Chain A
């Protein structure tokens, strides 16, 4: 090899494990802006629409509450995963993160059921339109939550996340919390504020 190269002193270093954390923060910021936009659209359209709630609206509080409980359990499991990693118990961490993935998947499953039994169509006006958009956005947020938890689970199982370097587990837990908060905000906006 004879290519001319820089002769500066070497500053070689180990890879930075917090890169993934920063990536997750950037993703979360984008999703906050996305959900904030949809919330603003909801408020703006509601302000200019007479008869905002469609007559055919059929809301079942049971399913909405079940979704909230599922999201909450996912958050608890995520922090249990951090506990497992920090305490050096890989089995606990793997179990906890598996529960996060399952809970988030269950949330998505129930969300699709709620959509089907709502008897709403986007063509029914502003409320139904933004409701569908919010459901799609929340679904996307939970899908990314499954992705983050899945990556963390694989890395924990492979021994790449440990007591010495728990940053990815913290990242997954915080991201899972953000995912749940996103649902709670939507729930408050659409079902409490209406």
Chain B
């Protein structure tokens, strides 16, 4: 008995209850019920939005090296950059991976509500387009809407840019909640027989946990946006005073603070699966790994204690502890990965380089955080905030999870694209991304140490020329990141095209000797994923089968 066999032609009378139902609506990109197709759409959309966001970021940094931009122009560009990067890149990338992989990992033929995921995707894409359009429609009411203010030019209400920004945020948030609910129900109700929650792979577990987190936080943000829209559109100005402003800040960060870590949770899950697969060894404790992933999610909510000025939190005892505690489960999980790897059995794969990059950026961010409790660093020259925080955000919040996401894409590429991505291009991309993130963050860290303020359109004062030089360093880093992203787009397009010319039997279903269910189906999987829903008898069903076959 072998792990794989020739896929038989469907016989008459075969059970069809679990097969993808006959299409009521004509199959199209808008009505598709194929989770794999929707997953690929999510990944492509995430790359599109991050390219726009990166270009805007580089424009902002380059402008700091010269004459700078006006405050209003800065507000417009910063709104576009920050919201695109925070909501439309990593969340969509991991949502795409989850949409593609979760049904395969739990042994399901489809998502619980297949067309709901298509609706959520197109809604998110439309919301993302509205967000980009908001830039074209003029000036927003306040800096990235984080501090909404009624502007003199917005007579009796909000600018059209603000209306569009809020509408896009509502649409994106609601669609993400729908997609999260879909994934949650899929894990709860569509697991193969024998696939208990204790046996689901760590990535699926992390998606399950983070979906629950999104369901609990996204409605808070949506409610806040609804009130903000009414406030800004009709010009009530309730959020312009101290009390109202604080209420808005709390609604914003009740979603925003955990959201920073909500992208880290699926990243940790994916990396755990990747390390275990390429180490060709089981994790020391699957339960412990899942516990640590879940602890990261729970502690992410503790970061809320940092309140609205989290960059000052390290100066306050209680938020410091709650913010720092999150490093404990992440650190223990990294130790578990190291404990799993044995050089003799390690299968070297490009995705492991990205895992290394993820850990390196986390460590760099952690070391920086240790020396953060300095009023000079926190306040910047103008006392409003320091460029140091911008570096921290780009290294830890953006850089590390980005490398984790690409580790996952390279690892699962045989399933997603039909064949492995080019390793040489992958290595070049890795070098560009890692060097880019380090350079970008280093420029901002050093500028912060030198007293440069954050979120300003131009530098002024006696140190302005020094700060401008640091901005040049960051700009170079941003360009490297953009180059890395373009390399990936080229690599994926080449592999996608080549996969169509290679006959399917010559594409290995399980190139790494993986033990979870997604490696038991063809590459790429057929529309209904499996010929027959498998019965699972252990956390490593393919290894279990191999043992049974051996004797």
Give chain A's interface residues, CB within 8 Å of chain B: 1-16, 18-19, 22-23, 26-27, 29-31, 33-35, 37-38, 41, 44-45, 47-49, 121-126, 128-130, 132-133, 136-137
Contacts and interface: CB of A to CB of B under 8 A. Distances in A.
16 contacts: A4-B4, A4-B508, A4-B509, A6-B520, A7-B2, A10-B532, A11-B536, A13-B533, A16-B189, A19-B189, A41-B224, A41-B227, A41-B247, A123-B156, A126-B244, A133-B230
A7 B3 contact: yes
A111 B427 CA distance: 60
Contacts of B545: 7-8
A23 B7 CA distance: 34
B251 interface: yes
Contact of B231 (A10, A11, A22, A129): A129
Nearest to A6: B520
Contacts of A38: 223, 226-227
A37 B541 contact: no
A177 to B, nearest CB: 20
A26 B181 contact: yes
B218 interface: yes
A41 B222 CA distance: 13
Contacts of A14: 17-18
B463 interface: no
A133 B223 contact: yes
Nearest to B541: A8
Interface in B503-538: 504-505, 508-509, 517, 520-522, 526, 530-536
A101 to B, nearest CB: 21
A12 B532 contact: yes
Contacts of A130: 227
Nearest to B218: A30
A1 B503 CA distance: 12
Contact of B226 (A5, A13, A49, A136): A136
Contacts of A129: 227, 230-231, 234, 236, 238
B236 A125 contact: yes
A49 B243 contact: yes
A122 B234 contact: yes
Nearest to A10: B532
B494 interface: no
A26 B509 contact: no
Given A3-B504, A4-B4, A12 B226 contact: no
B4 A41 contact: no
Contacts, number: 183
B68 interface: no
A125 B243 CA distance: 13
Contact of A133 (B216, B227, B531, B534): B227
A33 B185 contact: no
Contacts of B367: none
B93 interface: no
A102 B413 CA distance: 51
A129 B526 CA distance: 52
A13 to B, nearest CB: 7
A4 B238 contact: no
A57 B216 CA distance: 34
B112 A122 contact: no
A6 B534 CA distance: 8
B421 to A, nearest CB: 20
Interface stretch (B84-92, B131-139, B190-198): B190-198
Contacts of B520: 5-6, 8
B533 A4 contact: no
A123 B234 contact: yes
A10 B533 contact: yes
Nearest to B231: A129
Interface string B185-208: 100111011100000000000000
B533 A26 contact: no
Nearest to A8: B534
B115 to A, nearest CB: 12
Given A31-B219, A133-B227, A45 B243 contact: yes
A48 B243 contact: yes
Contact of B530 (A2, A6, A35): A6
Q: Which among A18, A33, A121 has the greatest number of chain B C-beta atoms within 10 A? A: A33
Nearest to B184: A26
Contacts of A3: 7, 504-505, 509, 522, 526
Contacts of B182: 23
Given A6-B530, A19-B113, 15 more contacts: A1-B8, A2-B6, A3-B7, A3-B504, A4-B7, A4-B505, A5-B509, A6-B517, A23-B182, A29-B215, A33-B216, A45-B244, A48-B243, A122-B236, A129-B230
Contacts of B541: 8
B235 interface: yes
A97 B392 CA distance: 55
B247 A45 contact: yes
A2 B505 contact: yes
A121 to B, nearest CB: 6
A125 B509 CA distance: 62
Contact of B219 (A30, A47, A133): A30
A30 B9 contact: no
B220 interface: yes
Contacts of A1: 7-9
B193 A123 contact: no
A136 B225 CA distance: 12
Contacts of B233: 122
A9 B542 CA distance: 11
B220 A12 contact: no
B177 interface: yes
In the complex, the 9 A-B pairs of residues with the closest C-beta atoms, listed nearest first: A6-B520, A48-B243, A11-B535, A37-B223, A11-B193, A8-B534, A3-B522, A10-B532, A34-B219
Contacts of A12: 15, 17-18, 532-533
B177 A30 contact: yes
Contacts of B542: 6
A6 B521 contact: yes
B547 interface: no
B7 A2 contact: yes
